[in-house]
Amino acid sequence: MTTAPSPSGAWSSLRRHSTAAAAALFGVVAVSGVLVFFHVGNALLMGMHEWLGLAFAAAAVLHVVRNGPAFAALVRRPRFLWTSAAVLAVAAGLMVASGSKGANPAVELIHAAERAPLAEVADVLGVPAERLMEALRGQGVAVDDPTASVAGLAAASGHDPRRLMAVAVAAGRPAP
């Protein structure tokens, strides 16, 4: 036989903490989302934004579960239904508009560079191919052939191609 949780027990704790967590996470995810949208600090913020977005979703679900009767009353109101329909229509429109543009050209360019021979990547970076290959060897990648590609080397060595491209780009930077 189960008993209802006491007001001072886990149920009350869930209510207090889920609402506070949802509110705090909303603030952080909203601010980081705006910054990511405007490409401010993407490298620093993107992972945090995604993980805390998942935590926000979980906190919101717990908040809705705890406040179920009030939420059930809310979703029966015509204003909620119309607002939800409008938000879904805008979301669908944005998905269709975004999908018609194709892949991100910056990502396509990076993938093309990953497939290009190291000699060509070195040319673009303005460094000798041997310097680029030395930098890759320093990361434990066996490379002797300047016609090899970063993608091929990554597959053969088990390295992440993005990490190897970062090593290549760093090899092209002037020493401080």
pLDDT digit string (tens) for the chain, length 176 residues: 454 545 557 767 776 788 899 999 999 999 999 998 888 888 889 999 999 999 999 999 998 988 889 999 999 999 999 999 999 999 998 888 776 556 677 788 888 989 999 999 989 988 899 998 999 999 899 999 999 999 999 999 998 888 888 888 888 777 66
pLDDT at 90: 93
Do 110 and 53 share a structural domain? Answer: no
Distance of CA 151 to the CA centre of its chain: 22
| Spatial CA neighbour of 17 closest among 70, 59, 71 | 59
Tokens of residue 140, six digits: 């434990």
pLDDT at 1: 47
Please tell me the distance from the alpha carbon of residue 119 to that of residue 114, in angstroms, as a whole number: 12
pLDDT at 168: 87
Q: Say if residues 162 and 151 touch (Cβ distance below 8 Å).
A: no
pLDDT at 175: 67
Q: Say if residues 134 and 172 touch (Cβ distance below 8 Å).
A: no
Do 85 and 42 share a structural domain? Answer: yes
Of 83, 99, 115, the last residue of a domain is 99
Find the domain containing 128 and state its range.
106-172
Do 165 and 114 share a structural domain? Answer: yes
pLDDT at 108: 83
Do 74 and 125 share a structural domain? Answer: no
**Count of CA atoms in the C-beta half-sphere (13 A) of 116:** 17
Please tell me the distance from the alpha carbon of residue 174 to that of residue 172, in angstroms, as a whole number: 7
Do 114 and 73 share a structural domain? Answer: no
Q: Say if residues 54 and 91 touch (Cβ distance below 8 Å).
A: no
pLDDT at 6: 52
Do 79 and 19 share a structural domain? Answer: yes
Structural domain count of the chain: 2
In a domain, 5, yes or no: no
